[in-house]
Amino acid sequence: MIRIIALLILVVPGFLAGVGIKLMRDMLFGILQPPFPFLWMQFIAGLLLFLGGLGFVAGFIFRRDRKQDKVQPKFQNKE
C-alpha cells in the first residue's frame, strides 16, 4: 500500500515536468498555447514546471535513499 502511495506522489510532479517540456518545445517551434500571451512567458512557465517536477522527484528519491543509507558518506546525515 505504501508503494502505491509513493507512486501516486511521484506521478503528479512527473506529469507536470512533462507538461513543462511540452511548453518549452512548443515555444521553440513557435506554437503559442492559449493561457500565455507571449512565447517567452510560455517558455519560462515550462521551465519552472520542468525544474519543479524534476526537483521534487529527485528530492524524493534522495531522501528515501538517505534514510536507507544508500548514499555516499558526504551526503549522509551529520548527527
Instruction: Indicate the domain borders of the chain.
Output: 1-67
CB atoms within 10 A of CB 62: 13
Provide the H-helix boundaries in the chain: 2-28, 39-67
pLDDT per residue of the chain (79 residues) written in tens, 0 to 9 = 888 988 888 899 999 999 999 999 999 999 999 999 999 999 999 999 999 999 999 999 999 899 888 888 888 877 6
